[in-house]
Structure 1
Amino acid sequence: MVRDSLVLAPSPAGLVPAPADVLRFLGYEPVDSADLDGIPADPGPLALVLFQAGDQQQALALLQSCRARWPRLVAVLAVPPGQTVDADWQTPLGRALVATLPLPLQFDELSTALDRARFVRGRAAAGHNAGLVYRLVGRGHAIERVQYLIERVARTDSNVLILGESGTGKEVVARNIHFQSTRANNPFVPVNCGAIPAELLESELFGHEKGAFTGAISARQGRFEAAEGGTLFLDEIGDMSLPMQVKLLRVLQERVFERVGSNRSITADVRIIAATHRDLEAGIREGAFREDLYYRLNVFPIELPPLRERREDIPALVDELSARIGREKGIQVRVGRDALAVLADYPWPGNVRELANVIERMAIMHGDRPVAAADLPARLRQGAVVDGTHDVTDLPPPIQVAEPSATRLPSAGINLKDFLEELERSYIQQALNESGDVVAHAAELLSMRRTTLVEKMRKYGLQRAGFASDV
């Protein structure tokens, strides 16, 4: 498998560990900024790694030069130990900066930063504004399962029904399915069925002809036509009226529709992704939702867990939301450990949307200093378990690198690359044995994405017949 290459800007002396060795161990090919000629033009490097402790003007000139050659190149900023992201660095980097990376390098943080770099570069390659599309953040089992389901269904044209409470990120899932599918270069058209009056929804979806009703002074294209060749996202499908459900069912069955006021049939080459926070099966029993439409939509269900059930993902979400606010609004926010402990304990009835609003508010109010627990809104502090028995240290810790003194360097030296690869292979083999060859469980033991683990298994020849990759 060809490794993703990373361009390394000149790093200041004394940075530990040496980035190149660690990056190779983690499956990336580091390239010195003086050796760019060997990188192919397509697809080009994954990202440019800049160092905040280095020469800023030299770094910006390097970024400009690299982006002239590879327009989709994104930047990752490595921050020295004990420092925070400097606005004097973040502002000139602008939208090219997609992630920050604390030094010394840790697997979880590096993987998260480079996952985002790959995601943003992929969206740019598809011709989309990456700022409008956000990846799912988290490494808990629940969200990893959702990511796996997205990868599976994105390869098909099957209808998808996304279930979950308000604010859990249903549109984020829908956009990820679209942008990972073969329809990615065609439109993604969202429609909130609950926000449009029932008498206007038919015209909104199917369009209308001039004079079809009072106020129709000209013909208008509907959302189905706008989404031709792409994806139509029907949010809050549970709020759709019964008469409109009948008309939608016909389109799903026959793949044709007519504009309001017309008898000319129009073919619909559109993938349908629907979402709702309602219990549709209860709606069927109550006569509020058609059973036949439910089974048409529920070909591939994806259920999103509420934030209170994925507490282990809150630190990563806070980092992602803080970085997003910094990029989009130019406001820096740093959340202290005591505040993070409160955020991790709060039940979040509004889910990720509520968390995003809190982080943005904290950025506005306290962007000039770290946010402490006392700075958080009273409702968060009152709703969290803050009896002194729970602390942010209870959250899953980052992978720790063994102390340098733990192993002595042989007097004859060592082939570090081979040693690290054999070490990685050994740990993967142990994780597979411990998990009974269930890849998803082995990935949890290694704090690694399932897809990353599968690639490494192929690299080391650990893939065997009948291994439980889908569990």
Structure 2
Amino acid sequence: MDGLTLLTKALEVSPRLQVIVMTAFGSIQSAVDAMRQGAFDYITKPFKEVELRLRVENALEKARMLSQMGLFADEFNERHGLSALVGRSPAMRELTSRLQRVAQSDATVLVQGESGTGKELVARAVHAHSRRKSKPFVPVNCAAISETLLESELFGHAKGAFTGAVRARRGLVEEADGGTLFIDEVTETAPAFQSKLLRTLQEGEVRRVGESTTVKVDVRIVAATNRDIELEVREKRFRQDLYYRLNVVTLRVPPLRERLEDVPALAEHFLKRANARSPRPKRLSQSAVDHLMGYNFPGNVRELENLVEQAAALSEGEELLPEDFPMRPSASMAVSGPTEASPTPAATDATTRGPTLAESVEEAERRAIAQALERHGMDLGRVAEELSVSSTTLWRKMKRLNLRPLGGDHRE
């Protein structure tokens, strides 16, 4: 093979390999081509020994730097890669598949999901599987920073730009240069800030507060929100042009109630972490797992994590039992559907106070499943496909809602 082919093959085997190309004076173009294909440097013949030594030293220094960065990147990937997204439900498989595809590009990503579903975890996984993984991942929660400070926090400021600015400061966008900036709760921002964020996305530059010059940055943006962002746009609370800039690729993180089949794996994952910090390791009983799977988790994965950590810390025995998980009964899905003979307390209360949100959601689920069952002649596979849930989730919902297929399937 020729030199360029050898270079390509070598870098496929070892991407961090530093290659110095030797070339004759008259073939500089081939050396330039080699640089474009990944060579570190080139040297023209004839050359002096000191010149070659200098290039080799520079190559070794870059190799050492990449090695150190690789260690950090490997650690980040181990902690925040796809393995951190626990669950094998259809909804999670779809999310991880889509995440892997988008991570390879530099496309801006909008992560949508309810509070507690793990949107930052998804953003970190995008970074961990991208070409930027050796560069910084910088998160910022817009809801946790006042409007007056948010611009300075992200874009930086000049000395004396405002009271208290005793020295110039780089913003988080510049800190993330070469890497990924995660903007959480982006819909909590004001229109003036949204305008400046849009400029950064369009121009690839930032202007520090109090300065007239701009600074070029190379940053991938991953934004997240727990609100209906399209509604925010229609209500004129969020800029439409910024929405289109952010919404290049959308990753929807499903709420835990839509993937209850992942609860056992998640509970074991959180218990393993709790056991690593405790001198008295605990284990989950099957009855505790069944108890957890009969709950709809309004606080999503974060609530499950808190419940497991609390149970591991406070339980007296080695095995965690249902009573170690005190959950809000009003949000539970373990109650059977109401009957004419014995109405549930929730149904009785609703006659005087109106339905709660949980009751309204339950009734909507009952109606949607019943109508789908009627349309598909009780074919549970087709019903599950239409409703975009797994067969296991469908059956569990039917059991909770006291719906039974005619003639049916009596799995327990």
TM-score by length of 2: 0.62
- Paired amino acid for 1:252: L
Q: CA deviation at 1:126?
A: 2.7
Q: Which moved more, 1:353-362 or 1:372-381?
A: 372-381
Quick one: structure 1 residues 287 and 361, their matched pair in 2 at CA, closer, same or farther if it must change by over 3 Å? same
For 1:184 and 1:367, the matched residues in 2 are separated by 43
Tell me, yes or no, if structure 1 residue 231 matches structure 2 residue 194. no
**Gapped runs of 5+ residues in structure 1?**
1-41, 44-121, 388-434, 436-443, 446-471
DSSP-derived class of the 1:168 partner: coil
- SS of 1:302's equivalent? strand
1:383 Cα deviation from its structure 2 partner = 1.9
Query: Aligned residue for 1:250?
Result: 199
Letter matched to residue 358 of structure 1: L
Which residue number in structure 1 is paired with residue 28 of structure 2?
Answer: none
**Residue 111 (structure 2) aligns with:** 162
Normalized per residue, the structure richer in helix is: 2
1:22-78 deviations in whole A, cap 9, x for unaligned?
xxxxxxxxxxxxxxxxxxxx99xxxxxxxxxxxxxxxxxxxxxxxxxxxxxxxxxxx
1:228-287, Cα deviation, whole Å (9 max, x unpaired) = 100000000010111100000011011111111111210110000000000111111111
Describe the shift of the 1:222–1:367 C-alpha distance in structure 2 as closer, same or farther (beyond 3 A). Answer: farther
Q: CA RMSD in A?
A: 2.6
- The equivalent position to 1:293 in structure 2, one of 227, 235, 242, is 242
Query: Corresponding residue for 1:302?
Result: 251
Structure 1 residues 267-346: aligned runs within 5 Å: 267-329=216-278, 332-346=281-295
Query: Cα deviation per residue 1:279-327 (whole Å; 9 max; x = unaligned)?
Result: 1111111110000000000000011110000011111111111112222
Contact 1:332 1:368 in 2 (8 A): no
Shift of 1:378: 4.7
The sequence identity of aligned pairs, in percent, is 48
Cα distance in structure 2, aligned partners of 1:225 and 1:378: 44
Distance 1:174 1:215 in 2: 33
- Secondary structure of the residue aligned to 1:212 is coil
Distance in 2, matches of 1:225 and 1:219, equals 13
Q: Of the candidates 126, 139, 163, which is equivalent to residue 190 of structure 1? A: 139
**Distance change (3 Å), C-alpha of 1:329 and 1:203:** farther
Q: What displacement does 1:373 show?
A: 1.2
1:457 counterpart residue number: none
- Residue 172 of structure 1 corresponds to which residue in structure 2? 121
Residue equivalent to 2:318: 369
Does the CA contact (< 8 Å) of 1:203 and 1:260 recur in 2?
yes
1:368 is displaced (CA, Å) by: 3.8
- Structure 2's unaligned 5+ residue stretches are 1-13, 16-69, 337-380, 382-389, 392-412
Q: How many residues are treated as equivalent by the alignment?
A: 272
2:10 paired residue number: none
Structure 1 residues 247, 231: CA separation in 2 closer, same or farther (over 3 Å shift)? same
Return the alpha-carbon distance in structure 2 between the equivalents of residues 237 and 382 of structure 1.
Answer: 28
Q: TM-score, normalised by structure 1?
A: 0.54
| Alignment match of 1:128 (pick from 72, 76, 80) | 76
Letter in 2 for 1:220: R
Q: Tell me if structure 2 keeps the 8 A contact 1:178–1:184.
A: yes
Residue by residue, what CA displacement relative to the aligned partner does 1:372-418 show, whole Å, maximum 9, x if unpaired? 1122215259724166xxxxxxxxxxxxxxxxxxxxxxxxxxxxxxx
Q: Does 1:145 align with 2:98?
A: no
Query: Per the alignment, do residues 207 and 383 of structure 1 end up closer, same or farther by CA in structure 2, a change over 3 Å counting?
Result: same
